[in-house]
Amino acid sequence: MPYVKEVFDYLIRTSPAQTEFYQAAKEVLESIRPALDKYPKYRQHKIIERIVEPERQILFRVNWVDDNGVIQVNKGFRIEFNSALGPYKGGLRFHPSVNAGVIKFLGFEQIFKNALTGLQIGGGKGGSDFNPKGKSDNEIMRFCQAFMSELYRHIGPNTDVPAGDIGVGGREIGYMFGMYKKLANRYEGVLTGKSLKWGGSLGRTEATGYGAVYFAKYMLEDRGETLEGKRCVVSGSGNVAIYTIEKLYQLGAIPVTCSDSSGMIYDESGIDLELLKELKEQKRVRLSEYTTYKPMAKYTPVEEYPEGVNAVYSIPCFAAFPSATQNELNEKDAEILLANGCICVSEGANMPSTPEAVDLFVDAKICYGPGKAANAGGVATSQLEMQQNASMTNWTFEEVDAKLAQIMKNIYVSASTTAAEFGEPTNLVLGANIAGFRKVADAMIEQGLV
């Protein structure tokens, strides 16, 4: 379709060297072609041209002082992409790989992910190229305070409500909230992922991982399958991976892998969840330490991975849960998974599969849950935290988990029925993208040219 190509060419010309953003935009633009053909109004109102451009891009310098008294300088970002459905909502990522293209891809994905939840939240994302690894608590505190000293003027409970992402957990949210409260002189729900002591929500920590497993459960149920007794592989060992593993155990599955940037653990008897939590949430050490306590498990360092392959996906499994980072699962990995009998992939990370891998999963007609649908549980529960903050109430863990399960079911039903409407009932990439796009596009049209 020349129209879509023109828009994509415009992006490349006006947003140079933003590879991840191109990838995310291309996937959405290609998959919503049937909707653009069916509904001429989207062209008439220039929705595509408007939706690929952020409403606001905030780029700033972050100056802070390390423990040696040396001044350090990092880049800070907040991309407020689309507010048609509600306040901007999306996490903050602190990682050396962060740049404008990464934040724009994440923010663009967030628009449609948030729309799929059915909740009143728009799409945004932010972060910094700051690397929290190897930093002391005091250095992380000083950086977070310096970061918030600029960001605070652009956010608010009814404007933009950031959350955590890679490198930003409860500790970082706490330091940033404290600085916001001091600068703004207001105690309000401006961040989610807060401590339970001061406005956080039960179930928020677990939500993204739990949600990815719920999504897999609903996909499989439609095919008369279950996770009970099935071997599963999980990548990553952060928040998403840990609670994916936890929910898999609750549903009777056997998760046998986890990984970090240094290597992979394969524990044939099933990952020791309590040990994993201790190593990653308390001691904050490398995953290689796992074999010190569980010598029967196998640790494979990244240097020993087969060329061009993520070793996690070489383990035969029934279902795979990519839960680490973008583009971690490539075409070779997808071929290996399919050859080994994997029939379900549910993405806990954002865009973890390359376009070539996605094409293989879609063509094979397996249960494939794209990240914008399968990992929407985190942002959905963030919005539940916003609701509790606004009403000054607290819900039980069971209440939040039940709401999360229902939201994930609604997302699956929305994506699958939309896919069926457009003649591809197993293609949830198409279904999720069109369902999310229509909701945002219709809101934009109804609100006029703003």
Among 1, 28, 22, 19, residue whose Cα is nearest residue 10:
22
Three-state secondary-structure class, residue 370: coil
Q: What is the β-pairing status of strands 71-82 and 88-94?
A: unpaired
H or E element at residue 77: strand 71-82
Closest to 193 (Cα-Cα) out of 146, 161, 215, 236? 161
Sort residue 171 into left (φ over 0), alpha (ψ -120 to 50) or beta: alpha
Which residue in 246, 372, 368, 365 sits closest to 319, CA to CA?
368
Catalytic residue among 125, 217, 230, 280: 125
Q: Which of 388, 428, 387 is nearest to 408 (CA)?
A: 428
Tell me 279's DSSP state.
I
Catalytic residue status for 125: yes
Rounded CA gap, 37 and 243, in Å? 40
DSSP structure class, residue 280: I
CA torsion sign for 26, 29, 33, 37 is: negative
Residues in the chain: 450
CA distances from 249 to 51, 170, 380, 398, 402 (A): 40, 24, 22, 17, 18
- Give the C-alpha separation, 150 to 147, whole Å: 6
How many C-beta atoms surround the C-beta of residue 244 within 10 A?
31
In whole angstroms, give the CA distance from residue 169 to residue 167.
Answer: 6
Q: DSSP string covering 396-434, please?
A: -HHHHHHHHHHHHHHHHHHHHHHHHHTT-TT-HHHHHHH
Sorted by sequence, the CB contacts under 8 Å of residue 29 that are 6+ apart come out as: 4, 7, 8, 48, 52
| Residue 99 to residues 61, 88, 326, 338, Cα–Cα distance (Å) | 13, 19, 14, 33
Indicate which residues carry an active-site annotation: 125
